[in-house]
Chain A
Amino acid sequence: MSLHHSDDPHLWNLESELRMFALDGPPVSRRTVIKTGLVGAAGAMLAHSPLARAITPAPAPAPTVNPKAKSVIQIWLWGGPCHIDTFDPKPAAGADYTGPLNGVLSTNVAGIQIGELFPLLAKQADKYSLIRSMTHGSNAHETAAYMVQTGRASGGRDVFPGVGAVVSLFKGYDAGYKGLLPPYIVLTELQGRFSESGFLGPKYKPFATGGDPGQARFVVEGVVAPGISDERQKARRELLHQLNTLERATTRGDARLGAFGQCEQDAYEMILGDAGKVFDLSQEKGDVRERYGSNTFGQSCLMARRLVERGVPYVTINHKGWDTHKQHFQIMRRKLPELDRGVATLLEDLKSRGLLDSTIVWVGGEFGRTPKVLWEPPWNGGRNHFGRVFSTLIAGGGFKGGHVVGSSDARGEEVADRPTHPCDLIASMYELLGIDPEARLPHPEGADVRAIPTVAADVQRGGRLSEIM
């Protein structure tokens, strides 16, 4: 690292860099750094801070020219939805494969058929494409979720960041995002750290809303506090400021206290300012809310639309409950209609508001499920994990609708045509988002890591999704 040399050309940008990272509160004061000019001890001291990362082999966090997509809505079906009950039906494979869900629906695109529980999505097929040849081969939830959302193989020392964290690096505050809403939001709970910020650290973790958008009032954790009036909020904030004895005693200042104060201001922008109003779903007309479905998932889709409308670059809906080893078909009959309504309405609504062209909608889980139904005990009609082939729905933001990419074999057990690896989908999304696949990620130890793994990194790939771009 070149930190020890005061002729480092990046040094001249130091003040602005420091301002950029003020929230992160590097463990030294601004003055400290400026005075030492980053030589010797102070340089070494800074070596791991985000500040140093920004100065040394920093990525250029400005997206490339004219990105088609501005935002991503990731509908994450945690647990692994069955491909053949959803987007890759196999009625000809017989009841051992289809179970009771042996019907198919023709869609508004000739030649594309989907599962029988998706009547609303069947009318929207011109807006999305289906990838039926997703594959990575892992049947373990965490590893598969990691592979699907990072595009990397597991193993080695590093834990890589997921797509959301990378997007919030390249389209968030570092790239001039000015919104008061966090650039990466998850509805409503974190899904697990491996799929999130990885080595990029907590700054790029999503903001988890908590609460339930399906309730009469969506109580976003930290933003909405029912029963505490704005007057009381203001009064007790005033009290807090009177009791900040430690800050007052620290007459020479402390960078950490400065960052602490700034974070408080930002928090109150959400609590008392306009930023937090986006979460008030009662501002939507009753029939709009109903169209999305009066349940947590449907209202999450509506919430996601409101967020991208306000420029949030990445929203994840963490939709759980797809790990159906037992009671698979009963659960599908309950969950698939909700999924159908929420996603179909979201696509339609985005389209009618002119947002679909700039918003990627990505629907899928970490793997599919065993195509052959497990009738024997203890499963009694369940399906297990299946990473060899599975399906993903992708729409908007420059992805063409009405296409099918790749295919599985007659029983949905192998990729028949055009294997598509997680890395292919992610690289294609980055391209549409204007993120240079060669851009370096700020690695804490300065390792050379690119947004998309280099060919040498031994990650399997099937190539850009040119069919639908």
Chain B
Amino acid sequence: MSSHALHPYHGTPHSTRFPFWWFWPVLIAGAWWMEDTRAAEPAAKKGAIVASNPFERPLPPQPQGAIDNAVFAQLARLGIEPAHVCTDQVFVRRVYLDILGTLPTAAEVRDFLLDRQPGKRAKLIDHLLQRDEFADYWTMKWCDVLRVKAEFPINLWPNAAQAYHRWIHTAVRDNLPYDKFARALLTSNGSNFREGPVNFYRAMQSRTPDGIGRTTALTFMGSRAEKWTEAQRTEMAVFFSRLDYKGTGEWKEEIVFFNPEKPLKAPSGKFVFPDGSTAPLAPERDPREVFADWLIRPGNPHFTRPIANRVWSWFLGRGVVHEPDDLRADNPPTNPALLDALEKEMVASNFDLRRFFRTILNSTTYQFSSIPRSEKPEAEANFAFYPLRRLDAEVLVDALNQISGTTEKYTSPIPEPFTFIPEDQRSIALPDGSITSSFLETFGRPGRDTGIEAERNNRVTAAQRLHLLNSTHVRRKIEQGPKLQALYRARGGNREIIDALYYTILSRAPTDQERQAALTYAKQPGIDSRAAAQDLAWALVNTAEFLFRH
């Protein structure tokens, strides 16, 4: 039976006329039970399953495919017990957040949990990879790396930041293969307002050949050229020594171009690629093209490895080489076989990043629960569980808005040209790092100063806790947000309100114990049911479970 047949209100997830969740608990409890018994050994008893937590399946995980084989082999060698696979409830929330940077709605959670067909996880992954938010979210990630920002210290200027963002967004949406993506950025010429990718060469504080070389190494080779030898850096700089910039009659417009009049000079008597091989530079040819062709040449580990490792770190919280943009001989991978497997997969994918994402997302390793089953210190660096990570600033505020049905105000320090920011702007889709809010600043949105991944800071601070626990900003959303208000008025009483809030905020059903705690809270003398419902919503928003990807 399809979930559509079961759910007459499918497609109207925000309807307030019907308490659309009214008969879920029974069905979903069934689905959850089914999932777990299907996976369970015959000896497993239903009671044992119900008594466990809502986060992990009861049985040990099984590897499936080359990536898992590499991870499991290493874990076995180190004597680390891997986490169990996460439950469907955890999975649905996790993949929405990881693939779309977006919380699933209660209806989306319900649809997934009630789907009883085999392979529904893979099906959901495929579905999410095609959603519009995919392009928004991954454009945001790339804009961090590519430093898309109008103002200080990058100083692209608003029209140029918008053009740059638009180009990246189109490339992500249309799934431009990563090698072509890199080549386009490296070889572009033209106006910063019209040719988005030329802004790659403007989005850095130091626009000298050496500075551009360092930025290029960081962006595409995952390497900090500050740690190279002086000679290597000088050789790298040659590829950008004939790049030029000129103004036009239009305010802040700038043309980035190959200037053949600039001399081609070999510092050490010959032209050399970063791997030491000879570079066939010629006076009539743009050296950037020669460099780009070397870079994306099939089998170039300086290109394949960094991107494979970077993507892995995006989904698993850390690279096989960590930091993902600090690859060097004396920073070895924690699991060389895993890095090899990822590299092979990247090559087999022909740099189709969606396909590469899909492989990782379908792995057992990615689907581990966040609850470690080993106290060994090496467990995390060897991917023995899914690491807790605080939601990105943008994702968090979008999630709060989605739950409550509210919006944010964003501002940019630049008065002109005015950047129009629509009322319902989602934070993950902001086109320019200079457009911001105090929430985004407080929650560690990266400055996009350098393109180094660690600029994004997802550590929890006391100031952030204050904001979520007690600010008027969050309080207004919880007390006055139209979507939450509709839930507080739910027909059927406290039980239904509790379930609806759990599905909306934590993407799962409450456990019996949680439901009981919430019911008891609502029965206290001196608190009306509306205040009790608000306090429950407040509490759920303030749980670690809400605040962390888990």
Contact = CB atoms under 8 A, between A and B. Distances in A.
Q: How large is the interface on A (under 10, 10 to 19, 20 to 34, 35 or more residues)?
A: 35 or more
Contacts of A142: 151-153, 413
A11 interface: no
Contacts of B469: 222, 264, 267-268, 271
A221 B511 CA distance: 33
Interface string A19-34: 0000111011101110
Nearest to B326: A47
B111 interface: no
Contacts of B318: 27, 45
Contact of B535 (A48, A141, A202, A236): A236
A443 to B, nearest CB: 11
A225 B334 contact: no
B53 to A, nearest CB: 4
Contacts, number: 221
B441 interface: yes
Contact of A249 (B371, B387, B449, B542): B371
A246 B372 contact: no
Interface string A148-160: 0000001111110
A155 B152 CA distance: 10
Contact of B441 (A42, A190, A219): A190
Interface string A245-275: 1111111101011011001101110110000
A263 B524 contact: no
B539 A247 contact: no
Given A47-B326, A245-B514, A270 B459 contact: no
Interface string A197-232: 000011101011010000000010111010010001
B467 to A, nearest CB: 5
A221 B536 CA distance: 21
Nearest to B224: A445
Contacts of B466: 221-223, 267, 270-271
Contacts of B540: 243
A169 to B, nearest CB: 15
A193 B378 contact: no
B460 A259 contact: yes
Contacts of B538: 236, 240
A36 B462 contact: no
Interface in B305-348: 317-318, 322-323, 326, 331-332, 334
B450 A157 contact: yes
B74 to A, nearest CB: 11
Interface residues of B, number: 83
Contacts of B413: 141-142, 192
A210 to B, nearest CB: 7
Nearest to B369: A249
A244 interface: yes
A252 B377 contact: no
A7 to B, nearest CB: 17
B459 A24 contact: yes
B354 to A, nearest CB: 28
B378 A42 contact: yes
Given A44-B332, A159-B449, A36 B372 contact: no
A41 interface: yes
B472 A221 contact: yes
B471 interface: yes
A192 B547 CA distance: 25
Interface in A299-321: none
Interface in B442-478: 442, 444, 447, 449-450, 452, 454, 457, 459-467, 469-473, 475
Contact of B377 (A33, A208, A270): A33
A239 B466 CA distance: 17
Contact of B378 (A36, A146, A246, A260): A36
A25 B459 contact: yes
Given A194-B152, A239-B535, A256-B388, A267 B465 contact: yes
A192 B382 CA distance: 39
Interface in A34-77: 35-36, 41-42, 44-45, 47-48
Contacts of A208: 438, 442
Contact of A259 (B152, B372, B459): B459
B543 A246 contact: yes
Given A41-B381, A42-B381, A202 B444 contact: yes
Interface of B: 53-56, 151-153, 204-206, 211, 214, 224, 226, 317-318, 322-323, 326, 331-332, 334, 370-375, 377-378, 380-382, 387-388, 390, 413, 438, 441-442, 444, 447, 449-450, 452, 454, 457, 459-467, 469-473, 475, 511, 513-514, 517-518, 521, 524, 527, 531, 535-536, 538-540, 542-545, 547-548, 550
What 5 A-B pairs have minimum CB-CB distances, sorted nearest first? Answer: A222-B466, A142-B152, A32-B377, A249-B53, A266-B462
Given A29-B377, A154-B152, A236-B538, 10 more contacts: A24-B459, A159-B153, A189-B438, A210-B472, A219-B472, A222-B470, A243-B518, A252-B373, A260-B547, A266-B462
